[in-house]
Structure 1
Amino acid sequence: MAGGRIRVGIGGWTYAPWRGTFYPEGLPQTRELEHAAARLGAIEINGTFYSSFKPASFAKWAEAAPEGFVFTVKASRFTTVRKVLGDGAESVSKFLGQGLEALDDKLGPILWQFPHTKAFDAEDFAGFLKLLPEKLGSRPLRHALEVRHASFEDTAFVRLAKDAGTAIVYADKPGYPTIDEPTADFAYARLQRAEEDVATGYTDAALDDWAAKARGWASGGRDTFVFMINGAKVRAPAAAQALIARL
């Protein structure tokens, strides 16, 4: 089987410390997305976690990115921060109905991020997974689940995710469960250990290891998304570009 495509990116594109480091001095803020998208393979839209946007915003973002670029979209917190997840049908519908389809072929996976206080309950999660549609209009949807409670390191959770065709996010952060299981036709990783005193966020050896891991995820034909998210956020673009160079 041919390998899947690997896309490496960052979370968001508006961050003041990137001005003068990643973004050239004097670059208008209105062109920051264009600059970032030209140098990366994907961007995780995080603003959608906090508020909704109009279709025109998604269309504008899509226009600023080159062909082949992908946006992943973090779902509204109101869909995942609730006592009974299966009660969130209205929130899921509202989030998906705000205009994501305006991203057109640049729409990538939807990231459903759960709080660190949310423990695994099989019935609770099964109810949630039933709310996730396979399509948005005529466009197939991919769903990624980021869980943060140790109780999710459970084969029952892996089975639920696999039965639903949803990816479990590989979260590289101290204190978070790290689950590396092929439960979907794509892989999604969020790397969160960048160090500020390393110009590329990660050492050469660490970047070589991540490149090998990404190739492994993609080797079975899975499209693979790797995001440099946190730790020393100022280094995220440099880390992403260094990983892209290795791939």
Structure 2
Amino acid sequence: MRLHVGCAMWTHARWQGRLLPAGLPPGERLRAYATWCEAVEGNTTFYATPSRSTVESWARQTDPGFRFVVKLPRTITHEHRLTGADDDLRTFLEVMEPLESRVHALWLQLPGSFSPADLGALAAFLHRLPRSHRYAVEVRHRAFFEDERARRLLERLLTGFDAEWVPFDTTVMFASPPASDAERDAWTKKPRLPRRTHALTDRPIVRYLGRDDEERTIGGWRPWADTVADWLREGRSPTVFIHTPDNADAPVLARRFHDDVRARVPELEPLPEPMPAEPLTLF
């Protein structure tokens, strides 16, 4: 029984010297983060495919059981909209090879304009993908959440490829007006969609956005803690990513979410103690 929790990134200016040791070189920051969390969203790959040497560094800094949910580049999902991007896809898959089993899923985050009318392109793209990876799809068109036929069509398509539907739960963010600069920024940029809690596979993936107020974030994830506990009892192996608008305490909150689920499922193993932010002393 295993629950992996993580954040949207493994390095953040607000973490240095407070949660993670200060002054870590870039090539050591993932290693330190991995003592806090056992998964991370690979958001940087959306903007550019990294070099193979960079990905080799990621592999060196993490254990084989660490989970990367790696986002496909926007050239594939947004610019080409899944068609005519085979060369970009081939390059990306080759670059990701050093991560081996650490690639928990390759993540297709589709634009809000990608509608039920585009499901044929998604089906053709999934058909071309190698079966050596697992895949997860995030959709943002409201029809998939509000139209029963569109929802069933997408679920049937994803199930046929053993692919997961990734929910991005922003309902707590939009439950009341923003109260900080970071929340105001999130208010204008994040999708406003209904909460979805149905898993299609044995390895569901959840993205949850809370608030910059800790108690509101924790209160908002209680339905997810119940759902994830049920998934664990069913034999599933979930991965949950905790976001807040400023992400200043995201690793702490991710671990707190794990604790909350463990309170519901006591047989879940606790997370190891994280690396201290300051060197240990004798006195």
Query: Cα distance, 1:207 vs. partner?
Result: 4.6
Task: Give the match for residue 239 of structure 1.
Answer: 253
Query: Cα distance, 1:123 vs. partner?
Result: 1.9
Task: Give the match for residue 243 of structure 2.
Answer: 229
Query: Cα distance, 1:245 vs. partner?
Result: 2.5
Greater C-alpha radius of gyration: 2
Q: Distance in 2 between matches of 1:83 and 1:72?
A: 21
Task: Give the match for residue 169 of structure 1.
Answer: 166
1:116 equivalent to 2:108? Answer no
Q: Percent identity?
A: 28
Q: Deviations over 1:176-212 (max 9, x none)?
A: 354333322310101112x2232x7723x44544322
Task: Give the match for residue 101 of structure 2.
Answer: 105
Task: Give the match for residue 142 of structure 2.
Answer: 150
Indicate conservation of the 8 Å contact 1:75/1:112, yes or no: yes
Q: Distance in 2 between matches of 1:65 and 1:201?
A: 32
* Corresponding residue SS for 1:87: coil
What TM-score do you get using the length of structure 1 for normalisation? 0.84
Q: Within 5 Å, give how 1:131-150 maps onto structure 2.
A: 131-135=128-132, 141-150=133-142
Task: Give the match for residue 202 of structure 1.
Answer: 217
Task: Give the match for residue 35 of structure 1.
Answer: 32
Task: Give the match for residue 281 of structure 2.
Answer: none
Query: Cα distance, 1:23 vs. partner?
Result: 2.1
Which one-letter code corresponds to 2:213 in the other structure? D
Query: Cα distance, 1:218 vs. partner?
Result: 2.9
Indicate conservation of the 8 Å contact 1:165/1:185, yes or no: no
Q: Deviations over 1:212-243 (max 9, x none)?
A: 22122233222211011343322321211211
Q: Deviations over 1:140-188 (max 9, x none)?
A: x110001111122321111111111110002101413543333223101
Which one-letter code corresponds to 1:231 in the other structure? P
1:184 equivalent to 2:201? Answer yes
Which one-letter code corresponds to 1:118 in the other structure? F
Task: Give the match for residue 55 of structure 1.
Answer: 52
Task: Give the match for residue 220 of structure 1.
Answer: 234
Which one-letter code corresponds to 1:105 in the other structure? S
Structure 1 unmatched runs, 5+:
136-140
Q: Distance in 1 between matches of 2:45 and 2:131?
A: 20
Moved more, 162-171 or 28-37: 28-37
Query: Cα distance, 1:32 vs. partner?
Result: 2.0
Q: Distance in 2 between matches of 1:201 and 1:91?
A: 41
* Corresponding residue SS for 1:190: strand
Indicate conservation of the 8 Å contact 1:8/1:240, yes or no: yes
* Corresponding residue SS for 2:227: helix
Q: Distance in 2 between matches of 1:19 and 1:49?
A: 24
Q: Deviations over 1:95-127 (max 9, x none)?
A: 2122x1211232211111111222222323222
Q: Distance in 2 between matches of 1:177 and 1:87?
A: 32
Q: Distance in 2 between matches of 1:28 and 1:201?
A: 34
What TM-score do you get using the length of structure 2 for normalisation? 0.75
Instruction: Name the count of aligned residue pairs.
Output: 235
Query: Cα distance, 1:58 vs. partner?
Result: 1.8
Structure 2 unmatched runs, 5+:
146-150, 172-191, 263-283
Query: Cα distance, 1:90 vs. partner?
Result: 2.8
Indicate conservation of the 8 Å contact 1:88/1:128, yes or no: no
Task: Give the match for residue 95 of structure 1.
Answer: 92
Which one-letter code corresponds to 2:227 in the other structure? K
Indicate conservation of the 8 Å contact 1:149/1:177, yes or no: no
Query: Cα distance, 1:28 vs. partner?
Result: 4.4
* Corresponding residue SS for 2:249: helix
